[in-house]
Amino acid sequence: ILNVEQSPQSLHVQEGDSTNFTCSFPSSNFYALHWYRWETAKSPEALFVMTLNGDEKKKGRISATLNTKEGYSYLYIKGSQPEDSATYLCAFRGGTSYGKLTFGQGTILTVHP
Amino acid sequence: KAGVTQTPRYLIKTRGQQVTLSCSPISGHRSVSWYQQTPGQGLQFLFEYFSETQRNKGNFPGRFSGRQFSNSRSEMNVSTLELGDSALYLCASSLALAGRSYEQYFGPGTRLTVT
């Protein structure tokens, strides 16, 4: 059974704070690591697809890093805003998984004004 | 470009009935994956279709089935519904070209309630 773990489960921060969360995944048979943002009553929104060890991706105030050798990825949000409040999900894709993503339980981020 | 659409958005069924959910992918996307989301289990992979063929299947009983049509639209069917099948069912489409991992774009989901 594939284990994709995210921590923390939930996080409350003040507007303007920077924050980060972790995704742990199997280091063997790695193909890609996906990050999603899921706001209430909306569809999950793709943030990043990361495939190479050492990859760093950035989109506005959000960035992510990837370490495939040790099996973890970090997502960073700089200067959090209330509109960043959402559940952040990571998903692991193995080498022969094609369209199968194995999701972590998510980190629920609440940004207080 | 239109996004992924799913119909119906909400559905209430009785135990023992069957249900069919529909997913229309983004134009040009040939892969459709289905996921079940429940509060306790998070997002669980059901199956993936590519060019009308099931490429991968999750750990769900045979009551869960799907298919994909030549226009890439996909349906999933759940027979003999159980209370535990109450969930949000999401489909996602992807370009799925060989050699790299593409984003999966999710639809709004179908909320199924089994009473």
Distance CA B63, CA B55 (A): 18
Quick check: B5 and B109 in contact, CB under 8 A?
no
List the single best residue of B36, B41, B43 to mutate versus A (max A Cβ within 10 A): B43
Whether chain B has a CB inside 8 Å of the CB on A31: the answer is yes
Distance, in Å, from the CA atom of B16 to the CA atom of B54, rounded to the nearest integer, reads 26
Confidence of residue B13 (pLDDT cuts 50, 70, 90): very high
Q: How far is B114 from chain A (nearest CA, A)?
A: 20
User: Chain B contact for A37, CB < 8 A?
Assistant: no
> Which pLDDT value is given to residue A2?
75
A40: contact with B, CB 8 A cutoff: no
pLDDT at B93: 95
Instruction: Name the band, by pLDDT with cuts 50, 70 and 90, for residue B57.
Output: very high
Better-scored residue on pLDDT, A97 or B93: B93
**Could you report the per-residue pLDDT of B1-12, keeping only the tens digit for each?**
679 999 999 999
Mutation target to probe the B interface, by most B beta carbons within 10 A, among A101, A105, A107, A108 is A101
Q: Per-residue pLDDT for B14 more than 90?
A: yes
Confidence of residue B92 (pLDDT cuts 50, 70, 90): very high
Percentage of chain B exceeding pLDDT 90: 86
pLDDT, average across residues B77-92: 97
- If phi > 0 it is left, if psi is from -120 to 50 it is alpha, else beta; for residue A79 that is left
* pLDDT for B61: 96
Q: Return the amino acid letter for B16.
A: G
